[in-house]
Amino acid sequence: MSKQLEINNLSISFGQTNIINDISFSLDTGRIGCILGPSGCGKTTALRTIAGFQQPTKGHVLLSGKEISSPTNSLPPEKRNIGMVFQDFALFPNLTVAENIGFGLRKWSNSEQQQRVNELLHLIGLSHLADAYSHQLSGGQQQRVALARAMAPKPDILLLDEPFSSMDVELREQLAREVRTILKQENITAILVTHDQHEAFVMADEICVMNEGIIQQHDSGYNLYHKPVNQFVADFIGQGVIISGEVIDDKKIKTDLGIIEGGMPEQCMVGDMVDVLIRPDDVLHDDDSAEQAIIIDKAFRGAEFLYTLKTNSGVEVLCLAPSHHNHHIDECIGIKLDIDHLVIFKR
């Protein structure tokens, strides 16, 4: 599989302020990547650099093997064959759905334009709204039209800048699934920028977690959750708490929740103090367990409750339990640990 996008040792500074610090990653043709991180981490600046709106201080950006950005060379955005979908969709209110989709095809013949627009209308399921205007569409429909318009000229890569941020949570994930399906059907290479890990998990094949201008981990969503490489990724991805422990042999850690067993990182030696990540799905409700905890908070999640528990030793942990087990705050319940992926960080 060929590399569609290559980012090599990219750094960007505004004056004395470093926004991006020596990042590198690549994306194969037809893959969907994501740059995920908190506000201000540099992810949008990275996207703007790929698009051509920002020039690097150091490093190179290559698209289909050709350099498009460097400190001394920057191909104009309109010559990069890159599609973009923005937060606000930016549809033209005076054009119909079909006219919006065909806007970037003016150099194509009339018959080619019509065929491509019809293909995309069918792909996004809006053939019946070809003659409608943007104000007559729902937010989700507008989002699909914006996507189709960006895809119409068959770009080398599609950039999506927080495209679901104006939607409610349930619609975001639904649209992310829809967009992924559409991109895969067209075999379009794409990069999503978001702060929402659920969007990233639903849509992307691979994710770069970024913080303070540095890529902390480039991996699958599964590995980011179960095998974070540092505490930032562990804290940012999913939910969980960090508890302290002491390594007592090559497979055991002594903690306030008891002895935890699992594979130990090579750098952890007997006697070392470590931090252990405990996810909500690591803590099971078990009435027969001798380990007891008091419920100090609870959140209804439909099929589950997310309980915040305090143990006898004062440690707070999170626990997911089926919602037909409806326990009350201040109630004492039995718990046990069931950790399949032991995540440990040496102090």
For residue 265, pLDDT beyond 90: no
C-alpha distances in Å from residue 135, one per residue of 12, 92, 118, 327: 39, 10, 21, 47
What is the average pLDDT value for the chain, to the nearest integer? 91
Residue length of the chain: 347
The pTM is what?
0.88
Alpha carbons within 13 angstroms on the beta-carbon side of residue 308 total 9
Local confidence band at 2 (pLDDT 50, 70, 90 cut-offs): confident
Q: What is the structure's pLDDT at 347?
A: 81
Read off the pLDDT of residues 331-343 as tens digits, 9 standing for 90 and up: 999 998 888 888 9
Per-residue pLDDT of 298-330, as tens digits, reads 999 889 999 999 988 888 999 998 888 789 999
Extract the tokens encoding 327. Answer: 């326990």
pLDDT computed for residue 1 by the predictor: 66
Q: What are the pLDDT digits (tens) for 272-306? A: 899 999 999 899 988 888 888 999 999 998 899 99
> What DSSP designation does 54 have?
S
DSSP H helices, 52-105, are 97-101
* DSSP characters over 173-217: HHHHHHHHHHHHHHT--EEEEES-HHHHHHH-SEEEEEETTEEEE
Could you give the domains of the chain? Answer: 3-235 (3.40.50.300), 240-346 (2.40.50.140)
**Average pLDDT score over residue span 244-251:** 88
Amino acid, single-letter form, for residue 285: H
More confident residue, 187 or 261: 187
What pLDDT does residue 90 have? 84
Categorize the per-residue pLDDT at 187 as very low, low, confident or very high, splitting at 50, 70 and 90.
Answer: very high
Between CA 91 and CA 305 the distance in angstroms is 41
Mean local confidence (pLDDT), 61-76: 94
Lowest-pLDDT choice from 61-65, 229-233, 321-325: 321-325
- For the cut 70, the answer to whether the pLDDT of residue 245 exceeds it is yes
pLDDT for residue 169 is more than 80 = no
Calpha distance 27→158 (Å, rounded): 12
